[in-house]
Structure 1
Amino acid sequence: MVLLSRLTRRALTCVAVIGFVAASIPAHADETGTWQSVKKAGVLRCGAAVAPPYVMRDPKTGEYSGFFSEICRSFGQNVLKVKVEFVDTTWDNIVAGLQSDKWDLSMALNDTPEREKAISFSAPATDYNVSFVYNKNNPKVPKGAHTITEIDKPGVTVAVMSGTAQDKAISAVFKQATIMRLPGNDETRLALMSKRADLLADANITNMLLTEAHPEWASTIQPTPPLAQQEVAFGLRKETPAADIAVLNKYVDEQVKSGSVNRLIKTAVQAMLVTNK
């Protein structure tokens, strides 16, 4: 019993020491890190450019939803234990605002080599590629089209949100069609629905919302090969410590593996479908 008692005490001492060391490592990293600054301020600022279902904003209440908004809100409240504030911005300014410390995280950014030169990225929450929505009755769009060559024709107009990943993607491959750059998602959809544009270039998930909301006229072209296949993640300032990025990565990975992100996507899609009815 004496031997057992001594072994038990030693084991408990080892556990206590290991626990102390493990706890002290992130605490030390936090003392000069991004998240420590956020904790001192008491608020996590999330840069928000609207792109359903990633980031959505109720025009009447100003409330944010969408699956990236929910991940950002949950990370701030449940991991950092602070309030969460969404800062309105545009896709043209989403990177510059982050660099100038107007917010702490940029939501739903495509991880591209160009952006990696300016900012850091978290682990991805989902994948992305560009698709095109068109009116089934539009004679300018060939039925069964599945390549860029089939739709990149003189007289064809493609609407896209200015400054987005899809803007950069189509600018690189469209040589003959006219690109209509507009400030937001509502404007691009209106351009297509009013027939000022023949095609709407957007994220595959976002375009899925439009076709499911309007199956009577809307159809999708998913280019072959996929256009701008990328990962969608949070953007962080370049100087963010690796330890802080690891904290966010761990949380994002957990949300993906648990199926939480897929559930949030489905919820956002359903909300959009109800809104568009």
Structure 2
Amino acid sequence: MLHLSRFTRQALVWLVAAASLSVSLQSRADDTSSWQSVKKAGVLRCGAAVAPPYVMRDAKTGAYSGFFADLCRDFGQNVLKVKVEFVDTTWDNIVAGLQSEKWDLSMALNDTPEREKAVAFSSGATDYNVSFVYNKNNPKIPQTVRTIADIDKPGVIVAVMSGTSQDKAISAVLKQAQIMRLPGNDETRLALISKRADLLADANITNMLLTEAHPEWAVGFNPMPPLAQQEVAFGLRKDTTAADIDVLNKYLNQQVTSGAVNRLIKTSVQAMLAANK
């Protein structure tokens, strides 16, 4: 066995301690560097395009709600310890605005290969697919809709929010039906309700709100296999560091596994249904 002098043993102890301190300090430095620009500004800017129940906006007060708005607010206030500001945008501009640094996070963005070329994504907060809603009394629509072919017919008009993932999804599968592209959720719903459109294509959760609010006439159709199955996540700028994305992902994963996201979704759905009464 090798015998070390007292001086040598003390030197080794100090060396190990110094190395441990260096690792600890580096870890703390990495922690404090995460989201540094946001912390320095004192505000987290969340790009908000309306799509109930993901993102909702009170027309009178301008206040934002919906489960993605709740997640963005909670992440900013309780994780980053900064104020949260919601920046109005549209689905046509939600990626471009993020790229031009008009906000720090884009809310409720579908993670698609095309978008991954332009922006980075967090882990998913929930799943998404495209469904359709129609008036059961509409003579253009069969009594029982089983496939896309049942609604993809000349003279059938499908309303959709322009620039959204659902717009891209139905554009790929509808070859004969006419697609009516409108700027927002209110416009697409009004088109269906006023019978200017025969069907509304939207996110599965959003369309569930419509059928539950109007069971007397609204019928949902969910294609099988699911159309455009994707994760719904936060969009971040392409140059966002891995450390920053990891901080957000840890927060989101905790919210998902704890059941908090499901509770927020239910709360948002109930708020929408109450507002429509």
TM-score after normalising by structure 1 = 0.91
1:159–1:23 CA distance, 2 compared to 1 (3 A): farther
Alignment of 1:210-221 (within 5 A): 210-221=210-221
Corresponding residue for residue 135 of structure 2: 135
Residue of 12, 24, 27 corresponding to 2:26: 24
1:156 equivalent to 2:151? Answer no
Match in the other structure for 1:76: 76
Closer, same or farther: CA 235–15 of 1 in aligned 2, 3 Å: farther
Unaligned runs of 5+ in 2: 1-15
| Shift, 1:24, TM fit | 3.3
Find the structure with the greater CA-based Rg.
2
C-alpha displacement of 1:143:
1.9
Partner deviation per Cα, 1:238-277 (whole Å, 9 max, x = no partner): 0000011000000000000000000000000000000011
- Asked if the contact 1:162/1:184 (under 8 Å) is kept, the reply is yes
User: Displacement of 1:146 after TM fit?
Assistant: 2.3
CA distance in 2, matches of 1:53, 1:19: 47
Q: How far is the alpha carbon of 1:135 from its aligned partner?
A: 0.2
| 2:50 aligned partner, one-letter code | V
Task: Point out the more displaced range, 98-107 or 140-149.
Answer: 140-149
SS state at 1:224 partner: coil
Cα distance in 2 between the residues matched to 1:73 and 1:16: 40
Taking a change above 3 Å as real, the CA distance of residues 170 and 21 of structure 1, as seen in their structure-2 partners, is same
- Contact persistence 1:30–1:244 (CA under 8 A): no
Q: Which residue of 2 aligns with 1:176?
A: 176
Residue of structure 1 in register with 2:242 after alignment: 242
Question: 1:56 aligns to what?
Answer: 56
For the Cα contact (< 8 Å) 1:48–1:90, is it kept in 2? yes
Quote the Cα distance in structure 2 between the aligned partners of 1:129 and 1:195. 24
Q: Give the letter aligned to residue 27 of structure 1.
A: A
Q: Which residue of 2 aligns with 1:203?
A: 203
Q: Distance in 2 between matches of 1:232 and 1:171?
A: 20
Q: TM-score, normalised on structure 2? A: 0.91
* Pairwise CA distance, 1:22: 4.7
Shift of 1:20: 7.3
Change beyond 3 A, Cα 1:94–1:258 = same
What is the letter of the counterpart of residue 151 of structure 2? I
Q: What does residue 65 of structure 2 align with? A: 65
RMSD: 1.9
Aligned twin of 2:8 = none
Q: Which amino acid aligns with 1:28?
A: D
Find the residue that maps to 1:271 and give its secondary structure: helix
Alignment of 1:179-190 (within 5 A): 179-190=179-190
Could you list the per-position Cα deviations for residues 215-255 of structure 1 after superposition, in whole angstroms to 9, with x for gaps in the alignment?
A: 00000000112100000000000000001100000000000
In 2, the alpha carbon distance for the partners of 1:144 and 1:231 equals 29
Q: Partner residue of 1:104?
A: 104
For the residues of structure 2 that align with 1:28 and 1:225, how far apart are their CA atoms?
A: 44
Paired residue type of 1:147: T
Q: Secondary structure at the match of 1:210?
A: helix
Q: Distance in 2 between matches of 1:50 and 1:16?
A: 53
